[in-house]
Amino acid sequence: MKNLLLTGGCGFIGANFIRYLLEESDFKGRIINVDKLTYAGNSENLAYIESQFSDRYIFEKKDICDFKGMEEIFSKYLIDTVCHFAAESHVDRSIVAPDAFIQTNIIGTFNLLELARANMDQLILFHHISTDEVFGSLGNRGFFTEKTSYKPNSPYSASKAASDHIVRAYNKTYDMPTTISNCSNNYGPYQFPEKMIPLMILNAIEGKDLPVYGDGRNIRDWLFVKDHCKAVWKIMKSGSRGETYNIGGNCEMKNIDLVEQICDLLDETTEKLPNRSRKELITFVKDRPGHDRRYAVDFSKTKNNLGWSPEESFKSGMKKTIQWYISNRKWADRVKSGEYRFWIKKQYR
């Protein structure tokens, strides 16, 4: 893998993956990071990488929906590997404005696959990052496996399901070397503050309301972002082409329990609020449409075939995450300005 095209590298998981590849992994090639820099993309996330790895890291501001622009990238850098993170990913936004999700997640993925197919003579791998949300909602028991039928319930998850199917089809039809990973909910440094965990951390620090959908009993499986990065790299190096791998955190938790744990950790490690516990900030808000009740991921295939398991417990990962947001308040303040501020005001008014 000499020339790795990584899409969406200025986003939350993409930026963490680039840091992991260049600082900690055995990857020896160069990374060409393509990002449109929408509201959730922030080149500041990789300022250190750009200065320290100038010989192995290249940034190009491009839109994956721009076929001609992406064609230039493939030609200019002799791309031999693709790791496709770029996606519109916030479920709430997909409910309000689904069109961007169809364009980026489906058409953008199609463009990349077509360009990879045009360069099959040098293509080593096309790895597609996806989500456990494509499987829909679980009952009280059971887990999502790689054989679980797709049943997406939001425009976001439907667009990701479509892109998964297209990637699989290119493997079967054109013998393209592909892998797909479906991961559970990530958390950790650099996550955009509209997502649940950073929103709760930052609001709790500032003594603001902590909005929890419905009755707060929706269950998610939580995965520390660096554990996800390690799993993706194992799949890219050693995964069987044409296969799909689940990546889970082995950490099921009700949303209300998650928020209460964040409150407890902040009360323990930071200055307490005057005359009240942070749990008193919890406010239940109207549930969002199509809100899946439970996700839980069986990652035994990834564990048994590739030797990967999550290393961080929820408590250890959450302590690291909270400390990062406390230490990077200026970053959070900059990110929360502009479009994001008006979105939150509208969403939770």
Q: What is the pLDDT of residues 111-165, one digit of tens each?
A: 999 999 999 999 999 999 999 999 999 988 899 999 999 999 999 999 999 999 9
Give residue 346's pLDDT band: very low, low, confident or very high (50, 70, 90).
low
Residue 342 neighbours by CB under 8 Å, 6+ apart: none
Domain-located, residue 104: yes
264 catalytic residue (yes or no)? no
Distances (CA, A) of 276 to 143, 257, 337: 39, 19, 28
pLDDT band at 338 (very low <50, low <70, confident <90, very high): low
User: Is residue 336 in some structural domain?
Assistant: no
156 is catalytic: yes
CA distances from residue 50 to 15, 30, 41, 57 in whole angstroms, order as listed: 11, 12, 15, 6
| pLDDT band of 171, cuts 50, 70, 90 | very high
178 found inside a domain:
yes
Share of the chain above pLDDT 70, in %: 96
- For residue 218, is it left (φ>0), alpha (ψ between -120 and 50) or beta? beta
pLDDT at 149: 97
Name the pTM for this structure. 0.93
Marked catalytic residue, from 57, 156, 190, 295: 156
How far apart are alpha carbons 298 and 321 in whole angstroms? 24
Which listed residue (80, 133, 164, 227) is catalytic? 133
Q: What is the pLDDT of residues 177-234, one digit of tens each?
A: 999 999 999 999 999 887 899 999 999 999 999 999 999 999 999 999 999 999 999 9
pLDDT of residue 348: 42
Q: Does residue 239 fall inside a structural domain? A: yes
Sign of the Cα pseudo-torsion (110, 111, 115, 118, in order):
positive
- Residue 58 in any domain: the answer is yes
Domain count, the chain: 1
**How much is the mean pLDDT over the chain?**
93
pLDDT at 183: 97
Rounded Cα–Cα distance for residues 119 and 141 (Å)? 44
Q: Which residue has the tokens 């077509």?
A: 114
323 is a domain residue: no
> Is residue 254 in some structural domain?
no
CA distances from 157 to 1, 73, 89, 101, 161 (A): 30, 28, 8, 9, 6
7 sits in which H/E element? strand 3-7
Active site residue: 63, 132, 221, 298, which one?
Answer: 132
Q: Domain containing 121: what range?
A: 3-191+222-249+290-312
pLDDT at 290: 80
At how many degrees (to 10) do helices 12-23 and 225-238 cross?
60
Give the mean model confidence (pLDDT) for residues 237-264: 97
109-118 vs 67-77: helix crossing angle, rounded to 10: 40
349 — pLDDT class (breaks 50, 70, 90):
very low
Residues 119, 175: Cα–Cα separation, whole Å: 13
**Is 133 assigned a catalytic role?**
yes
Task: Indicate whether 198 belongs to any domain.
Answer: no
- Non-local (6+) Cβ contacts of 21 within 8 A are 4, 27, 31, 229, 233
- CATH code: domain of residue 62: 3.40.50.720
Banded pLDDT at 292 (limits 50, 70, 90): confident
